[in-house]
């Protein structure tokens, strides 16, 4: 697809960015509406946010990624106060003794593709056109920076009560384990600043063009909706995606556990899919799509997105309800995740599923 390069982010851009982020978030990344409101308010007060191409960053610059950590279900009831992310960035800057040059999105997910924009606007810093996942994953170590040898620590965490903390751990998996426990103590969700990196490190390790891609996807969805068309066909064409299934949500098993939203949902087929079912497993994000006979249709790290059958609106894992009419949509992941190291981080077996990864194109015989 043709991606329009973002040069700056204004209030008028946030509608597309929130929608595109929700789509690439594969059901996770947090409610995009909350982050959108926060970003729009910050931009209205401080002006548009400049967007930096990765190649234009100075090698000695300090880049700080910002994100929400915790169960997306918690964020529906425990709204951020609005100061937590700024507190996390300031805590990390104070520890490092250096000011950030730019802000960065840890993942391309709904809330986590919009809160960094709010932080950038508030601090009047530019934001980097990239992220660490090209989608959303549930754990902190599941980023391209881990494969690039960049430490998640020092990491700052902050909550709505004014608490903040600095973590230093021996590796990125340990960062995830300790931070997850602290997140639970913070009420199930907190704001974080981590993976502080130089511009030189960013150029070698991050996935480029994510914000521009998110904006372009949001624009496609909105334009198709305005024409009273479901955007799934256009997205399949432009993104080389696959309509995996169409049906009605028959059952949802969802629980908040260990700082994650975990569970599954069963979709009963409609139309050409009548008489069959598909089961979606999730841990914040959709990870596995399989038939009622246990045959996989899509496996992490490929993207599994749920779209409303009538409107094409992306549906997050905390929003799924009985009776929803949906399209299960699949999308190939960034090639980086299909490497041996990538699959060790985010492949099906890491999450405890008894599947060896196969690309979504092979599972669905797409030539």
- For 60, list phi and psi in degrees, rounded to 5: -95, 10
Q: What are 354's two structure tokens?
A: 């008894």
Asked if residue 77 has pLDDT above 80, the reply is no
DSSP string, 277-299: EEEEEEESEEEEEEETTS-EEEE
DSSP state of 6: P
Domains defined along the chain, listed by start: 8-210 (3.40.1610.10), 230-363 (2.40.390.10)
Q: What are 233's two structure tokens?
A: 């066909």
Q: What are 272's two structure tokens?
A: 């050409």
Q: What are 212's two structure tokens?
A: 């521009």
Q: Stretch 99-108: mean pLDDT, rounded?
A: 96
Q: What is the dihedral of CA 199, 107, 133, 236, to 10 degrees?
A: -130
Query: Mean pLDDT in the chain?
Result: 93
- Whether residue 6 contacts residue 106, with contact meaning beta carbons closer than 8 Å, is answered with no
Q: What is the pLDDT of residues 18-35, one digit of tens each?
A: 999 999 999 887 777 888
Q: Stretch 294-308: mean pLDDT, rounded?
A: 97
CA distances to 220, 225, 306, 307 from 233, in Å: 11, 12, 14, 11
Whole-number Å distance between alpha carbons of 11 and 238:
26
What was the pLDDT predicted at 247? 97
Neighbours of 244 (CB within 10 A): 23
What was the pLDDT predicted at 259? 77
pTM, full prediction: 0.94
Which positions ≥6 away from 42 have C-beta within 8 Å?
117, 118, 119, 121, 122
At 263, is the secondary structure helix, strand, or coil?
Answer: strand
Whole-number Å distance between alpha carbons of 333 and 144:
13
């Amino acid at each position: 697809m043709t991606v329009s390069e973002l040069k700056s982010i204004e209030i008028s851009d946030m509608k597309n960015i929130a929608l595109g982020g929700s789509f690439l978030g594969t059901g996770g990344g947090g409610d995009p509406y909350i982050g959108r409101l926060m970003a729009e308010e910050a931009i209205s007060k401080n002006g548009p946010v400049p967007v930096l191409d990765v190649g234009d960053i100075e090698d000695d610059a300090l880049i700080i990624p910002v994100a929400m950590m915790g169960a997306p279900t918690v964020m529906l009831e425990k709204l951020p106060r609005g100061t937590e992310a700024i507190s996390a960035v300031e805590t990390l800057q104070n520890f490092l003794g250096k000011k950030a040059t730019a802000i960065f999105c840890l993942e391309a997910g709904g809330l986590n593709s919009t809160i960094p924009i709010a932080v950038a606007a508030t601090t009047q810093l530019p934001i980097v056109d990239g992220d660490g996942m090209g989608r959303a994953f549930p754990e902190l170590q599941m980023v391209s920076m881990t494969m690039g040898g960049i430490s998640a620590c020092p990491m700052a965490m902050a909550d709505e009560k004014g608490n903040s903390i600095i973590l230093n751990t021996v590796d990125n998996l340990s960062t995830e384990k300790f931070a997850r426990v602290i997140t639970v103590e913070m009420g199930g969700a907190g704001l974080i600043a981590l993976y502080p990196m130089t511009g030189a490190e960013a150029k070698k390790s991050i996935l480029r063009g994510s914000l521009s891609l998110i904006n372009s996807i949001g624009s496609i969805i909105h334009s198709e909706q305005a024409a009273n068309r479901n955007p799934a066909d256009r997205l399949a064409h432009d993104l080389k995606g696959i309509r995996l299934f169409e049906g009605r949500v028959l059952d949802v098993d969802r629980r908040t556990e260990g700082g994650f939203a975990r569970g599954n949902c069963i979709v009963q087929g409609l139309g050409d899919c009548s008489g069959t079912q598909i089961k979606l497993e999730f841990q914040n994000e959709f990870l596995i799509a399989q038939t009622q006979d246990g045959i996989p249709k899509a496996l992490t790290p490929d993207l599994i997105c749920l779209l409303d059958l009538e409107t094409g609106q992306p549906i997050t894992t905390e929003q799924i309800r009985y009776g929803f009419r949906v399209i299960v949509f699949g999308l190939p992941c960034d090639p980086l995740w299909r490497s041996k190291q990538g699959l060790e981080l985010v492949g099906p077996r890491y999450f405890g599923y008894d599947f060896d990864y196969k690309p979504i194109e092979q599972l669905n015989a797409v030539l």
